[in-house]
Chains A and B, each alone.
Chain A
Amino acid sequence: MPNSFQIVVCSSLVPDPLQTLEPVAGPALKNEMMLPAVLDPWAACSLYEAAALAAAHPGSKVYLVAMAPKAKLQQVMMTVAQKVPFELVALDGPLGGFTDAQSTAAALAEAIAAIPALDRSKLLLFGGWESASRGAGVTLQTAGELLGITEQFQGVDQLTVRDDGQLEVLERVEGGRHQVSLCQGAPAVFGWATGNLAEPRNSPQMGMANMRGITPALMKAKPVKLDANGLSYVSAAVPKQTRETRLVRDMPAEEIAREIVAWMAE
């Protein structure tokens, strides 16, 4: 079929953003296994973009390659499966953002390469350009390299397929600007920023349809042990929150605005 794609979305799980995140020795996040988890928000955006792209190009298919402890993956799939149609490739691996990016990328690339009947000439590798846990910033690129894909784009907000099959990519660049690039076509890697799509509503009907494939995928999830590759962390901390309260009466709005701008410029 013309312009049909095989879109592989890579994602990990992160704690629900509202949860208290407290680094502990390891490093790891305190009680991370027990905290409610979600699909990494950047990767989730890429999944929704992948589904929209697949829907617009009949014959396309979306795979979600996700690495996390199997039990956590199952919990998160109860929501993710309701969003868009996809086929899950599950890797039973560690949680958290403190793993070695090279090892993680290698595990992902191996799992992608093992997808039966995957046509690499139609492969678009999607994922988040960032992560809500600890974004190493290189995992997706490395996975692409390991799969031999050299056309890579990061901070993607829009992907348009032209009639001639070329891919027009809107990437974020410095200074709040976007850069438009053209790519001949698949295979290519796209590290998504937020994209432009809203989070789809939950549809239990779609979820039940997805679960027909997800359940066996979870059952045969391959255990993955990631090599630290000599990586060690000196310390880990969440950004410090500061609260400075001042009581000021009758301050003009212009003055308040000026002060806020000055504070932001600091």
Chain B
Amino acid sequence: MATFLPQVGAMLTLPGDAVRQILWRFSDRFDLQMLVQSARAVARGQVAHMVAAGERNTHEWTPAKQQMMEAFDKAGITAAFMEPEQGGFIAGPKNLALGLAAFELAWVDGGAATASLAGFLALAPIHERGTLEQTAHYMALAAPPQPGEDRKVRRGAFALTEPIPYVGVDTGILSGRLRVAEWNEGQEPLLHVEKRGRFITNIACADFVTAAVESGDPRIKGSCVVILEEGDPGSFDRGTPTKKLVHQLSSTGDPIFSLTVPASRIVGGYTVKDGVIVPNFSHGEIIEAVFRRTRVTVGLMTSAKLLSAVEPVIRYQRGRFRGAESIKEGSLRYEMGIQQREDALQRLVDVWASGEASASLGFAAARLFDDLDPLEREKTALLAERGIAGGRAEMKAMREVEAKAVALLSGDLVDARRDELASDPLVQYALRDAAANVLCPATKLWNTGEGTRMMREAVSLMGGYGITEDCPGFLANKWMDAQLEATYEGPEAVQRRQLTITMTNEVFLAQFKAWTKEMRAIASERPGSGACTLATAMTMWLWTLNYTQHATDADGNKLYHGQRQGVTFALADALCWLLAARCQILDVEELEARGPLDAVVAEDLPATLQFLRDLCHVQSARASGEVSRICAELVYGYNRHPAWDAEGHKACFLSDELDEYEGFIPGLGAVATDVIGVSGSHPVKAGPCAGCAGSLDFLHLQNKLATCLTGSRLAKDRAAGTVSKVMIPEALDYPQ
């Protein structure tokens, strides 16, 4: 397959803000652009100085760390979570906004980003499910003071995880208890809370805590999230700081609470039925709504690390030999340093491509939640109008809506019906909800997991320098920080388990098929973008999913099964690669469409597009390779390999019968590999070669995918060429 690309020069400078704003779709959002600049100033100023000064070397909460929180307040980062009437400046959904702020902070230090996010995490249960009074009260407390106001900002922490054995394992099981302390007739009940937390972020500076607790009293039903304040009667013990090896700019500890609070502190309120306090929302319902959004932001933090590594690595590679007596200025070694070598360039291309893909996936997920938030409210209101509220009734109603969503994507509808379904907010909600249920765990899982692996690669590209405290860009810190990002707010197994369920949702799969067609369509217009390769890999993934859902292993056991994580988790991993590469391609499409309208971007648009598209091609090829490997293992790996036994011999030629066949099929002897000798001898290998019965289609797909990789290494060569020429600043814009 020949790919004809217009010849353009190498990209001149690193992609700047104007390019990023288009790629990540906030070029028309001044509020977000300002938030980015503001967060960047804090990150590359105060935060970078703290890291350079060794502030990460202590687990204690220091005055400098406290000042960092105050810097967040003054720079508007804290207020980014709030509505304008609450002291914020961004109206509407804020998933993209928080993602961008965290991205900027994590560009320098993950702990700083976590410290900013932890406050939002504490407020999120109140924001998502709190009563109007709770929301108004706590948002106002947490909002930075307005000009002329003189008050302290109240900070929060979210306490879900508990000491061993439940820590991080199962958030559905709680040891924290809620009991009725006092309940006088006609008065608000007073509740006693016993809660021990483990790995609770921001606890050192928290004035209030949103804590998940279970009822320990027959007069309280189920579980809930309750708000605790430092001044409540009882003990508000922040516990000891956790001895983290990473993210030391954020506070983490194991607090112990034994407090009495009014029942009005139950997040979302409660009702009293037959003398029992029934919280309006269980802790599970609340954390589902919270984590669904915040996990995307964590994934973006790791993306920032990868992209932030590009400039320091280029500078290191180019300057590697400068200063040596024998290396004269102007010589190739002086000018290019290690970049004379293809390997150094191509490995950096891999890091860069991964960073672009993970950022694309994360920001796509964040934007999706911004779309979803108002639709979710509309859905709730519409269902309420129909008298449908909560639980099974809602699930039943939504099943009908999901069928409509699938029908809409089938392409079999007449125009009028299609328009009707397309304008149905419930259908739109179902579509986005199904996609969000996959994109969120995919972002958390792939961005952090693959991001950690690629950060190791970035560190290795700096040689011994990479693993020192002096390394420009704090790359070694970022490598270790990424490992925590893969773990907190739901470790990898939790994300894989969620994907196991959500990626088989019919609405998602219908969209996935449409996305595959979309990639083909892009490929026909933009050869060399990797879209065609990706479409083939997507087809292979879908085929394998379908195969595993119906096939059994050598022992007759079902392959796709909730408990069979060797299958389900592997498919989840493969899917993430595809989703990230797809989002990356779509972002570059956006740049091509909107770039010409921006004078700054237009200046070097053809070369920028060429480079970013080459990165797409590189990433699509890597993703396809991963998918092919995983799918092949699943399709063939559960068959028992034939052995040199009686059963295995049935698929072999006997040497004398082969001689006989040779008479009427000349040449057969040359192609027959599994031949049993007269004495019973056989070729020296594990057994007769395995057949491919039932999976010929897969072989065709794999063959096609292999040939679809055509051109991907040319793209990598081209991208590497650009990396060797692109202009970088004289120095990093933050200290080391």
B12 near A201: Cβ-Cβ < 8 Å: no
Q: Given the complex of chains A and B, what is the CA–CA distance between A124 and B732 in angstroms?
A: 38
Any chain A CB within 8 A of the CB of B585? no
Q: Of residues 38 to 53 in B, which have CB atoms within 8 Å of A's CB atoms?
A: 38, 41-42
Which A residue's beta carbon lies closest to that of B91? A208
Whether A211 touches B38, Cβ cut-off 8 Å, given contacts A20-B729, A71-B600, is: no
Q: Which of B34, B38, B599, B729 is in CB contact (< 8 Å) with A70? A: B599
Q: Given the complex of chains A and B, what is the CA–CA distance between A69 and B598 in angstroms?
A: 11
Q: Given the complex of chains A and B, what is the CA–CA distance between A30 and B600 in angstroms?
A: 14
Interface centre among A18, A202, A211 (most CB of B within 10 A): A202
B37 near A78: Cβ-Cβ < 8 Å: yes
Q: Which of B12, B30, B35, B36 is in CB contact (< 8 Å) with A34? A: B12
Any chain B CB within 8 A of the CB of A187? no
Whether A18 touches B34, Cβ cut-off 8 Å, given contacts A34-B16, A201-B41, A205-B79, is: no
B730 near A18: Cβ-Cβ < 8 Å: yes
A-side contacts of B18, CB under 8 Å: 71, 75
Report the interface size class on chain B: 35 or more
A82 near B13: Cβ-Cβ < 8 Å: no
Q: Of residues 201 to 236 in A, which have CB atoms within 8 Å of B's CB atoms?
A: 201-205, 207-208, 211, 215
Report the interface size class on chain A: 20 to 34
A201 near B75: Cβ-Cβ < 8 Å: yes
Min CB gap B716→A, angstroms: 24
- Which 4 pairs, one residue from A and one from B, show the smallest C-beta to C-beta distance? A204-B76, A202-B38, A71-B599, A207-B34
Binary per-residue interface labels of chain B (713-736) against chain A in the complex, 1 for a CB within 8 Å, 0 otherwise: 000000000000001111111000
Which A residue's beta carbon lies closest to that of B97? A204
Min CB gap A85→B, angstroms: 11
Any chain A CB within 8 A of the CB of B470? no
A-side contacts of B33, CB under 8 Å: 78
Q: Given the complex of chains A and B, what is the CA–CA distance between A207 and B80 in angstroms?
A: 13
Can you pick out 18 interface pairs between chain A and chain B where the beta carbons lie within 8 Å of each other? Answer: A16-B733, A19-B730, A20-B730, A30-B727, A33-B603, A34-B12, A34-B600, A72-B599, A75-B18, A78-B30, A78-B34, A78-B36, A201-B41, A202-B34, A202-B75, A204-B35, A204-B79, A243-B323
Binary per-residue interface labels of chain A (174-212) against chain B in the complex, 1 for a CB within 8 Å, 0 otherwise: 000000000000000000000000000111110110010
Any chain A CB within 8 A of the CB of B128? no
Binary per-residue interface labels of chain B (583-600) against chain A in the complex, 1 for a CB within 8 Å, 0 otherwise: 000000000000000111
B-side contacts of A30, CB under 8 Å: 727
Whether A82 touches B38, Cβ cut-off 8 Å, given contacts A18-B730, A31-B12, A204-B89, is: yes
A31 near B727: Cβ-Cβ < 8 Å: yes
B17 near A202: Cβ-Cβ < 8 Å: no
Any chain A CB within 8 A of the CB of B292? no
Q: Given the complex of chains A and B, what is the CA–CA distance between A202 and B34 in angstroms?
A: 8
Q: Of residues 572 to 627 in B, which have CB atoms within 8 Å of A's CB atoms?
A: 598-600, 603-604
Any chain A CB within 8 A of the CB of B74? yes
Q: Given the complex of chains A and B, what is the CA–CA distance between A208 and B17 in angstroms?
A: 19
Any chain B CB within 8 A of the CB of A159? no
B323 near A245: Cβ-Cβ < 8 Å: yes
Min CB gap B144→A, angstroms: 9
A-side contacts of B604, CB under 8 Å: 31, 34
- Taking A69-B600, A78-B33, A82-B37 as given, write out 6 further A-B residue pairs in contact, using a Cβ cutoff of 8 Å, ordered by the A residue number: A19-B730, A33-B600, A69-B599, A201-B71, A205-B79, A208-B89
Q: Given the complex of chains A and B, what is the CA–CA distance between A245 and B74 in angstroms?
A: 44
Which B residue's beta carbon lies closest to that of A214? B30
Min CB gap B75→A, angstroms: 5
A-side contacts of B731, CB under 8 Å: 18
Q: Which of A18, A201, A204 is in CB contact (< 8 Å) with B31? A: A204
A-side contacts of B76, CB under 8 Å: 82, 202-205
Q: Given the complex of chains A and B, what is the CA–CA distance between A19 and B79 in angstroms?
A: 32
Whether A34 touches B599, Cβ cut-off 8 Å, given contacts A20-B728, A202-B37, A204-B35, is: no
B-side contacts of A111, CB under 8 Å: none
B727 near A20: Cβ-Cβ < 8 Å: yes
Any chain B CB within 8 A of the CB of A81? yes
Min CB gap B38→A, angstroms: 4
B-side contacts of A20, CB under 8 Å: 727-730
Q: Given the complex of chains A and B, what is the CA–CA distance between A202 and B732 in angstroms?
A: 21
Any chain B CB within 8 A of the CB of A23? no
Q: Given the complex of chains A and B, what is the CA–CA distance between A204 and B80 in angstroms?
A: 9
Q: Of residues 30 to 53 in A, which have CB atoms within 8 Å of B's CB atoms?
A: 30-31, 33-36
B-side contacts of A82, CB under 8 Å: 34, 37-38, 76
B-side contacts of A205, CB under 8 Å: 76, 79, 89
Any chain B CB within 8 A of the CB of A3? no
A-side contacts of B729, CB under 8 Å: 16, 18-20
Q: Given the complex of chains A and B, what is the CA–CA distance between A79 and B41 in angstroms?
A: 9
Q: Of residues 1 to 40 in A, which have CB atoms within 8 Å of B's CB atoms?
A: 16, 18-20, 30-31, 33-36
Which B residue's beta carbon lies closest to that of A209? B89
Binary per-residue interface labels of chain B (69-101) against chain A in the complex, 1 for a CB within 8 Å, 0 otherwise: 001001110011000000001000000000000
A211 near B37: Cβ-Cβ < 8 Å: no
A-side contacts of B12, CB under 8 Å: 31, 34
Interface centre among B34, B38, B729, B733 (most CB of A within 10 A): B34
Q: Given the complex of chains A and B, what is the CA–CA distance between A79 and B39 in angstroms?
A: 11
Q: Given the complex of chains A and B, what is the CA–CA distance between A20 and B38 in angstroms?
A: 24
Q: Given the complex of chains A and B, what is the CA–CA distance between A75 and B21 in angstroms?
A: 10
A-side contacts of B75, CB under 8 Å: 201-204
A-side contacts of B42, CB under 8 Å: 202
Binary per-residue interface labels of chain B (19-36) against chain A in the complex, 1 for a CB within 8 Å, 0 otherwise: 000000000001101111
B-side contacts of A204, CB under 8 Å: 31, 34-35, 38, 75-76, 79-80, 89
Q: Given the complex of chains A and B, what is the CA–CA distance between A49 and B251 in angstroms?
A: 38
Min CB gap A21→B, angstroms: 8
Q: Given the complex of chains A and B, what is the CA–CA distance between A76 and B33 in angstroms?
A: 10
Min CB gap B634→A, angstroms: 46
Binary per-residue interface labels of chain B (452-472) against chain A in the complex, 1 for a CB within 8 Å, 0 otherwise: 000000000000000000000
B-side contacts of A16, CB under 8 Å: 729, 733
Q: Given the complex of chains A and B, what is the CA–CA distance between A70 and B727 in angstroms?
A: 24
Whether A72 touches B600, Cβ cut-off 8 Å, given contacts A20-B727, A34-B16, A204-B89, is: yes
Q: Given the complex of chains A and B, what is the CA–CA distance between A75 and B729 in angstroms?
A: 18
Which B residue's beta carbon lies closest to that of A71? B599
A79 near B79: Cβ-Cβ < 8 Å: no
